[in-house]
Amino acid sequence: MPRLIPKSRADIADRLAGLTAIATGLAGLIYAAGVIQALTEGEVAAWFDTIQIVGGVLILVGFLPLFYLMKARAGDAARGAWKGDGFTAVQFQRAGITAFVATVVCLIILSMLNRLVLSRVSAEVLADGVIGFALIAFSVSFFLHGRGDSE
């Protein structure tokens, strides 16, 4: 447990950002599992329903207590790290912009594939797919941008 909750306020803020990105990616995978469940039938759909439930429980049981403990320990340092032009704030901004651009490109491609894709799925499934794509794109780009900026 001591390794999960660091002592430095800056390290806590960085770990909170990482946990947020991981939880966002997991939420995106839950949305993607919902899309796959809607497009499949039978036992495969039941498996993806189980994956959704396990993912939701993992977020609630695994990540929320860590968020609470780290936020309580960091105090204002965790809140301040997300503002301004610090490393974590810039990393989140870059990830958000990258995810937005990737989502817009995905929507443009889907609109060009109107007859192949859009006419065969419901609006709810399409919205879940786009939300899942955006969340996964944010999570992946957060870690890619963080890995590339080792100043």
Domain assignment present for residue 137? The answer is: yes
Sign of the alpha-carbon dihedral angle for 97, 81, 14, 19: negative
Q: What pLDDT shows up at residue 150?
A: 52
Domain assignment present for residue 133? The answer is: yes
Domain assignment present for residue 1? The answer is: no
The whole model's pTM is what?
Answer: 0.82
Domain assignment present for residue 76? The answer is: yes
Q: What pLDDT shows up at residue 81?
A: 56
Q: What pLDDT shows up at residue 65?
A: 84
pLDDT in tens, 54-73: 999 998 898 888 878 777 77
Which stretches within 75-122 are classed as H helix? 76-80, 87-112
The residue ranges of DSSP E strands in the chain, in sequence order, are none
Domain assignment present for residue 4? The answer is: no
- Which domain covers residue 41, as residue numbers? 9-148
Domain assignment present for residue 2? The answer is: no
Asked if the model's pLDDT at residue 18 lies above 80, the reply is: yes
CA separation, residue 22 to residues 46, 63, 69, 103 (Å): 25, 9, 17, 19
Contact 63, 19 (CB under 8 A): yes
Q: What pLDDT shows up at residue 132?
A: 95
Contact 107, 53 (CB under 8 A): no
Domain assignment present for residue 3? The answer is: no
d(C-alpha 19, C-alpha 62), whole Å:
10
Q: How many CB atoms lie within 10 A of CB 139?
A: 22
pLDDT in tens, 23-42: 999 999 999 999 999 888 88
Q: What pLDDT shows up at residue 74?
A: 67
Domain assignment present for residue 80? The answer is: yes
Asked if the model's pLDDT at residue 139 lies above 90, the reply is: yes
The number of domains in the chain is 1
Q: Which residues are CB-contacts of 136 (< 8 A; sequence separation ≥ 6)?
A: 25, 28, 29, 32
pLDDT in tens, 74-126: 666 555 555 656 677 788 889 999 999 999 999 999 888 887 877 888 889 98
